[in-house]
Every structure is written in C-alpha cells, then in structure tokens.
Amino acid sequence: MAGKVSKGPSMKTSPIQNVCLIALFLAAYGLVSALAEDQSPTPSVSPSTTASVYPSSSASASPPGVPACNNASWNPEVYSFYGAKENVAEKVSRLPLKLSEHRVFVQITQGEAWAQVKMFELQKDGTFTVTEWEGKDTSRLACDIDKAIMANRGVNCVGEQMKAAIVKALNKGKVSNSVAAPETPAAAFGHSIKAAKGDFIKSEVIVAC
C-alpha cells in the first residue's frame, strides 16, 4: 500500500506581492536601459557649431551694411597707467591690441613739466602717419578729447572727432609719413614712455576706431 505523500504548504502569492514583483521587474529594466545609454558614444560638437555660438574676436562686429568705422565709434577704448617708467612700460606692452587693425589711436604721455601727444592714422597702403606734439601739460587736452567722444555719441567717425579736438587745442604738429605699422603696443608707445621726464609719469592710450 503506497504511502501518502504529504504536500508542503502551497506557494500562493497575494495581490500585494504581485505588485511588488512587477515593480522590481520594471526597476531592473530601467537600470539596464540606463546603462545601455551611458555606453553609447557622446556626439562631438563640430567646429562650425561652436563658431556659430561663440564668434571669434577677429570677426567683424559691424551690422550688415554698416561701415566698421560707424560701429567703432560706439566702442572707443581708453587705457591709463600711472607710476614709474618701467612699470608703465610693462603694463602698456601687455595691452590686448592689434594696432594694425585700427585706423586712429592716440598716446598721451605726461611727465614732470613735460608732455607728449602722438596720433597714429592708418593710410590706404597699410602704413601710418604719425603726428607729434610736445608741451608741459595735457590735462586740458584729455578733457577736450573726452568731451568730443561723448558729444559724438557714436554718430560720426570718432577718430575724426578726436583728431579735430587735438588739432584745435595744439595746432599743427610734427608729421612723419609712411611709418610702418607697429607690431606691438610696446613698439608703438615705448619710446614716449622712455622719453618722459620725472620719476612718476602717466601714459594714456585712446583707441578711437
């Protein structure tokens, strides 16, 4: 007579357990999918896309159809340095300027009872005409140039307005033609700084256009 085989307890699952199992399955599936996405190669940004979002500093900032000089008249720059000659010369040498790309810029250097003004004007052949004036004080001239720039309000060529203010205040100066374009700010402005008299000087560079 065959023995009776006893049955163990039945493995019935409740509805709550079923929900938990489904939730665990979905969580595991989501983790696998996330790992698969992380292993996919990251697309690289093409140079053209980067250039369109971050335009280079050499690109023209002038609006289409507007001459570059008109745009520059809204953006003149002034750099002023005070102190010992060697310190001023070192700071001027680090100016972030490519002078061959500018049409008119001026250096005003003030020493002890001595002052010099240099105006650089770009010519069609790529050379510069440099006009020099010497005197004893330039504080009034600096104010006249500031007034001319502010009065212009970006309407006309700011370089011509600045030139007119200088000529009105100082009359004719010593003119040197066909001067090669300075390769660096030190080459353009270093000589006036060395020539300044006194232990404490000031040198100011105004880039008009």
State how far the Cα of 71 lies from the Cα of 63, in Å rounded to an integer: 8
Q: Is the pLDDT of residue 60 over 70?
A: no
pLDDT, residue 45, reads: 37
Average pLDDT over residues 114-122: 97
In a domain, 109, yes or no: yes
As a whole number of angstroms, the distance between CA 189 and CA 89 comes to 8
Q: Answer whether residue 55 is part of any domain.
A: no
In a domain, 105, yes or no: yes
> Which pLDDT does position 73 carry in this prediction?
83
- pLDDT for res 69: 67
Compare 50 and 79 and report the one with higher pLDDT.
79
Q: Which amino acid is at 21?
A: L
Q: What are the residues whose beta carbons fall under 8 Å from the beta carbon of 83, sequence distance 6 or more?
A: 200, 201
Q: Which of 79, 60, 61, 113 is nearest to 188 (CA)?
A: 79
Q: Is the pLDDT of residue 48 over 90?
A: no
Strands (E), the chain: 77-83, 104-111, 114-122, 128-135, 174-179, 201-207
Look at the pTM and tell me if it is higher than 0.75.
Answer: no
Does some domain include residue 23? no
Average pLDDT on 126-147 reads: 95
- Is 149 part of a structural domain of the chain? yes
Are 198 and 114 in contact, with CB atoms under 8 Å apart? yes
Q: With the CA atoms of 70, 71, 72 and 77 taken in that order, what torsion angle do they form, in degrees rounded to the nearest 10?
A: 130
Structure tokens at 133: 């004036």
Please tell me the total count of domains within the chain: 1
Range of the domain at 164: 75-207
Confidence at 68, pLDDT banded by 50, 70, 90: low
Quick one: pLDDT band at residue 204, thresholds 50, 70, 90? very high
DSSP state of 99: G
| Mean per-residue pLDDT of the chain | 78
* Confidence label for 150 from pLDDT (cuts 50, 70 and 90): very high
29 occurs within a structural domain: no
CA–CA distance, 116 with 196 (Å, rounded to integer):
8
User: Is 7 contained in some domain?
Assistant: no
18 in a domain, yes or no? no
Q: Residue 28 pLDDT > 90, yes or no?
A: no
